């Protein structure tokens, strides 16, 4: 897409105050609110949070792949400076695969069990790029090699491949139409730790080789350090902290980020036990007033029960917590 206003500094993706609601038994429930961020080519951001935090809803809204009971209720998404029609399934078709593609979790469910994997990779090349069957099959073979599978294995059916190989096939499919943005929806969840590390390494290599932008959805903070530059932590449908991975790991500002990081075993720092976060995240139906984290937060104050904290800039990114509001500047300087 050409856009006269697009310049080298225009982000590949700009998400502006995105809001999504889910319809449940005739009631509209807010799933995400005020999600705002930018992503440049070649950069990777992780969306992290527990179930129900809104990370998958955010990513699927960007890809125009929300479930039928979900609706965009505010905000917009721009790709290379152009607004994209994320609320219009038919209008989004030209964007899917070519601009943005998704690596889904659980490759065994996502792949067609009765089709050879090379045919499955070739399919989007035929449908979206108008390639001939022969050229698309050649492209499928190249893509298999790119993700570390020998081209001959393209004749295999999904059940004949290991879990790691199937996930590599999913990555090859996602790359089939040369997208600039890839969304990884928990792409390593179903894999053992060694295969998980191999897939994350592969994604990092491909990102640098193809100048891809990556949005990695995960509930597991430990995979973020390996594969992303930046992390956005979500809770109850809002971004609560955003910053460089190294900064957030070294100095988490939001109480939820701090507790998430403390829940990762770190033998080097003498933390061998997993420390869990007490309580459960709120469901869509029972979001509390004020800060949604207040029932689990050891630092909650009276204002937290009434006012939703705004996402404000800090010296290392953005944070949404009353500890860092202008009236608590002293706390900001102490970085509590
Ligand atoms: Fe805790 Fe209040 Fe900050 Fe929420 S706003 S995280 S309850 S201190």
Q: pLDDT tens for residues 70-119?
A: 999 999 999 999 999 999 989 999 899 999 999 988 777 789 999 999 99
Ligand 1 centroid to Cα of residue 318, in Å, is 14
Position with higher pLDDT, 189 vs 34? 34
Report the mean per-residue pLDDT for the chain: 89
Instruction: Show the ligand 1 pocket: residues with CB < 6 angstroms.
Output: 254-255, 291, 293-294, 297, 299-301, 304, 309, 321-323
Q: How far is the CA of 293 from the centre of ligand 1 (A)?
A: 6
**Which residue, among 55, 92, 16, 62, has the nearest Cα to 182 in the 3D structure?**
62
Q: What is the pLDDT of residue 288?
A: 93
**pLDDT tens by residue, 147-162:** 999 999 999 999 999 9
Task: Report CA-CA distances (Å) from 87 to 63, 181, 318.
Answer: 10, 19, 28
Choose between 263 and 13: higher pLDDT.
13
CA-closest residue to ligand 1 atom 5: 321
Q: Give me the sign of the Cα torsion angle 325, 54, 221, 170.
A: negative
Q: What is the pLDDT of residue 192?
A: 84
Q: What is the pLDDT of residue 330?
A: 42
Cα–ligand 1 centroid distance for 262 (angstroms): 17
Q: How far is the CA of 296 from the centre of ligand 1 (A)?
A: 9
The pair of structure tokens assigned to 190 is: 């179903």
Average pLDDT over residues 215-222: 88
- The residue to mutate among 297, 306, 336, having the most atoms of ligand 1 within 8 angstroms of its beta carbon, is 297
Please report the atom of ligand 1 found closest to the CA of residue 254.
6
Distance 287 CA to ligand 1 centre (A): 14
User: In angstroms, rounded to a whole number, what is the distance separating the alpha carbons of residues 197 and 216?
Assistant: 14
Top pLDDT among 271 and 82 is at: 82
CA distance 20 to 66: 9
Q: Which atom of ligand 1 is nearest to the CA of 299?
A: 8
CB 304 within 8 Å of CB 321? no
Distance 253 CA to ligand 1 centre (A): 11
In ligand 1, which atom is closest to the CA atom of 255?
6
Which pLDDT score is estimated for 194?
Answer: 86
Please give the Cα distance from 141 to 174 (Å, whole number). Answer: 14
Ligand 1 atom nearest to CA at 240: 6
Among residues of the chain, what percentage have pLDDT more than 90? 70
The pLDDT score that the predictor gives to residue 4 is 46
Q: Which of 49, 53, 240, 299 to mutate to test the pocket of ligand 1 (most atoms within 8 A of CB)?
A: 299
Checking if the pLDDT of 7 tops 70, the result is no
Q: Which DSSP string do the residues of 123-181 spell out, in sequence order? A: HHHHHHH---HHHHHHHHHHHHHHTT--GGGGGS-GGGS-HHHHHHHHHHHHHTT--SE
Q: Which residues are within 8 A (CB) of 72 and not within 5 positions of it... i.e. 6 or more apart?
A: 18, 19, 20, 61, 66, 86, 87
The pLDDT of 240-244, averaged and rounded, is 97
Atom number of ligand 1 nearest to Cα 298? 1
Closest residue by CA, ligand 1 atom 1: 300
């Amino acid at each position: 897409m050409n856009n006269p206003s697009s310049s080298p500094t225009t982000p590949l993706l700009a998400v502006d105050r995105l809001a999504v609601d889910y319809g449940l038994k005739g009631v509209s429930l807010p799933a995400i609110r005020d999600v705002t961020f930018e992503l440049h080519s070649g950069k990777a951001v992780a969306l992290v949070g527990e179930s129900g935090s809104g990370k998958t809803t955010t990513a699927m809204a960007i890809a125009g792949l929300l479930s039928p009971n979900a609706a965009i209720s505010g905000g917009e998404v721009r790709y290379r400076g152009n607004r994209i029609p994320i609320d219009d399934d038919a209008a989004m078709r030209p964007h899917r695969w070519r601009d943005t593609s998704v690596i889904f979790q659980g490759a065994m469910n996502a792949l067609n069990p009765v089709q050879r994997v090379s045919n499955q990779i070739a399919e989007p090349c035929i449908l979206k790029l108008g390639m001939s069957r022969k050229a698309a099959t050649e492209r499928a073979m190249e893509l298999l090699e790119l993700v570390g599978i020998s081209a001959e294995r393209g004749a295999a059916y999904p059940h004949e491949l290991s879990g790691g190989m199937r996930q590599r096939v999913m990555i090859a499919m996602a790359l089939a139409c040369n997208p600039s943005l890839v969304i990884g929806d928990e792409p390593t969840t179903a894999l053992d730790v060694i295969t998980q590390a191999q897939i994350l390494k592969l994604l990092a290599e491909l990102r640098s080789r193809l100048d891809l932008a990556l949005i990695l959805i995960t509930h597991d903070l430990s995979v973020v350090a390996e594969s992303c530059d930046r992390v956005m932590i979500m809770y109850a449908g809002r971004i609560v902290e955003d910053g460089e991975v190294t900064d957030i790991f070294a100095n988490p500002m939001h109480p939820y980020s701090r507790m998430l990081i403390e829940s990762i075993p770190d033998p080097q720092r003498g933390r061998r036990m997993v420390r869990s976060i007490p309580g459960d995240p709120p469901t869509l139906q029972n979001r509390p007033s004020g800060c949604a984290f207040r029932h689990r937060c050891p630092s909650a104050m009276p204002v937290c029960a009434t006012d939703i904290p705004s996402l404000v800039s800090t010296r290392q990114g953005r944070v949404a917590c009353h500890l860092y509001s202008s009236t608590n500047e002293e706390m900001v300087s102490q970085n509590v």
